[in-house]
């Protein structure tokens, strides 16, 4: 089945793989994602060896995707710099490319590609690996449902382009910012990955003069979440990554979970909001109007825990990208809520 699926994906050259913003987006031809992953510049030509110009990195708070093993790379144009004025969301130069590879049970299943092809154009694409593990073909615009077995009767699906836009609105790059690349790594971060010596960090970018402004303070005072305990630090870091994509200041769903930790701001206001703000979704066993995101000392009365445990489409959180519950993170969040003072 996968061979025919891969062949079909190779035939379906997707035209709508770009997100256009700005008035000048229609001038000239819209850049398109190549038909094959090997044509994106990830590999040394004729091999599946990653081109050394593409630099590996590992965010300290990885996004959970049903236990997938991930590998990530960035390629910056020669001599170009990142606009680092906003520590939470950097702006990348035209020509920047990102790749993220997903593997299950030792096999590569998909690789996602994000490319700033023009000032007002980001190209999004997902690629489906073939059975021989020699290349990956461009997935159709609607994605590929149940593309790979991940155990326990569950299957991993490759996202649609619309799903990509929902998380990467206007070129929002996830997992590559001051906090995620900090050298002050959180030892309790769920699913933390080993930081290899050749991986990019904020120190790497500062030393190589890749940030503008230079941001030397990111090296002398590496970003970290300002929290009351190690458990709180890890819990808030997990929420910032796995929930803050949608729940942040100014977003349609706003609980301000995109922490401004890189600026050294306290998380006290966030905690107060989570404890007091009513939720539109209510726990069935809780009195109407009394459900809160977190109920101090009581994980079982916290909507955050209830929705993390759910994998029903109408109630689960996050709503996309997972079909299994993140048990390690759930245990961490429960421990954190238990220690939150009333």
- The model's pLDDT over 221-251, given as tens digits with 9 standing for 90+, comes to 999 888 889 999 999 889 888 877 676 555 5
| Residue indicated by tokens 């993220």 | 100
Q: Answer whether 157's CB lies under 8 Å from 144's CB.
A: yes
| pTM of the full structure | 0.85
Q: Are 111 and 95 in contact (CB under 8 A)?
A: no
Of 202 and 241, which is predicted with more confidence? 202
What percent of the chain is modeled with pLDDT above 90? 54
The SS3 call for residue 203 is helix
Q: Structure tokens of 275? A: 């404890």
Name the region of 326 (left: φ>0; alpha: ψ -120 to 50; beta: rest).
beta
- pLDDT (average), residues 31-49: 97
Indicate the pLDDT class of residue 258, thresholds 50, 70 and 90: low
Q: Which of 7-11, 147-151, 262-266, 327-331 has the lowest mean pLDDT?
A: 7-11
Name residue, tokens 């040394």: 44
pLDDT for res 211: 97
Residue 169 confidence (pLDDT): 64
Q: Which pLDDT does position 89 carry in this prediction? A: 83
Count of residues making up the chain? 342
Q: What integer is the mean pLDDT of 129-143? A: 94
Q: Output the DSSP codes for 96-141.
A: -EEEEEEEETTEEEEEEEEEEEETTEEEEEEEEEPTTSS-EEEPPT
pLDDT for 271: 67
Is the separation of the CB atoms in 141 and 165 below 8 Å? no
CA distance 98 to 86: 19
pLDDT higher at 179 or 254: 179
Residue 136, pLDDT above cutoff 90: yes
Share of the chain above pLDDT 70, in %: 80
pLDDT of 217 strictly over 90: yes
Asked whether the predicted pLDDT for residue 257 surpasses 70, the reply is: no
249 CB neighbour count, 10 Å cutoff: 12
Q: Please report which helix (H) or strand (E) contains residue 219, including its range.
A: helix 217-220
Q: Report which of residues 102 and 159 the model is more confident about.
A: 102
Segment (H or E) for 204: helix 202-207
Q: Which of 31-45, 119-133, 248-262 has the lowest mean pLDDT?
A: 248-262
- Mean of per-residue pLDDT scores for the chain: 83
Least confident interval from 38-42, 48-52, 222-226: 222-226
Look at 132 and 24; give whichever has higher pLDDT: 132
Q: Looking at residue 320, what is its pLDDT?
A: 73
- Phi, psi at residue 341, to the nearest 5°? -70, 150
Is pLDDT above 90 for 268?
no
Cα distance from N-terminal residue to C-terminal residue, the chain: 54
Residue 270 has pLDDT above 70, yes or no: no
Q: How far is residue 234's CA from residue 221's CA, in Å, rounded to a whole number?
A: 19
Whether residue 3 is predicted with pLDDT greater than 70 in this model: the reply is no
For 301, which DSSP code?
Answer: G
Instruction: Tell me which residue has tokens 């503008």.
Output: 212
- Which residues 6+ apart lie within 8 Å of 305 measured at CB? 299, 330, 333, 334, 337
Q: How far apart are CA 261 and CA 242, in angstroms?
A: 15
- The mean pLDDT value for 151-166 works out to 80
**Sequence-separated contacts (24+) of 311-315 with Cβ below 8 Å:** 315/281
């Amino acid at each position: 089945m996968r061979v025919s699926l891969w062949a079909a994906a190779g035939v379906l050259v997707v035209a709508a793989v770009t997100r256009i913003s700005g008035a000048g987006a229609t001038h000239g031809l819209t850049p398109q994602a190549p038909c094959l992953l090997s044509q994106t510049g990830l590999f040394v030509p004729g091999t599946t060896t990653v081109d050394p110009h593409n630099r590996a990195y590992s965010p300290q708070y990885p996004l959970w995707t049903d236990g997938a093993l991930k590998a990530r790379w960035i390629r910056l144009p020669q001599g170009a710099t990142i606009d680092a004025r906003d520590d939470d969301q950097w702006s990348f130069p035209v020509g920047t490319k990102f790749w993220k590879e997903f593997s299950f049970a030792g096999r590569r299943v998909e690789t996602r590609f994000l490319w700033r092809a023009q000032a007002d154009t980001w190209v999004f694409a997902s690629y489906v690996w073939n059975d021989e593990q020699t290349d990956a073909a461009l997935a159709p615009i609607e994605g590929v449902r149940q593309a790979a077995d991940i155990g326990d009767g569950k299957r991993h699906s490759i996202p649609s382009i619309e799903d990509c836009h929902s998380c990467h609105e206007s070129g929002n790059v996830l997992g590559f910012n001051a906090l995620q690349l900090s050298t002050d790594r959180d030892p309790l971060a769920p699913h933390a990955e080993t930081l290899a010596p050749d991986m990019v960090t904020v120190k790497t970018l500062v030393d190589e003069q890749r940030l503008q402004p230079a941001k030397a303070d990111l090296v002398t005072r590496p970003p970290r979440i300002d929290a009351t305990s190690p458990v709180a630090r890890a819990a808030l870091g997990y929420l910032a990554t796995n929930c803050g994509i949608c729940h942040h200041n100014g977003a349609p769903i706003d609980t301000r979970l995109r922490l401004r930790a890189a600026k050294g701001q306290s998380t006290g206001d966030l905690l107060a909001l989570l404890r007091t703000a009513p939720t539109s979704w209510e726990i069935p066993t809780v009195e109407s109007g009394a459900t809160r995101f977190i109920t101090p000392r009581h994980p079982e009365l916290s909507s955050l825990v209830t929705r993390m445990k759910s994998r029903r489409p109408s109630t689960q959180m996050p709503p996309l990208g997972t079909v299994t519950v993140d048990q390690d993170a759930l245990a961490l969040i429960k421990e954190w809520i238990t220690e939150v003072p009333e």
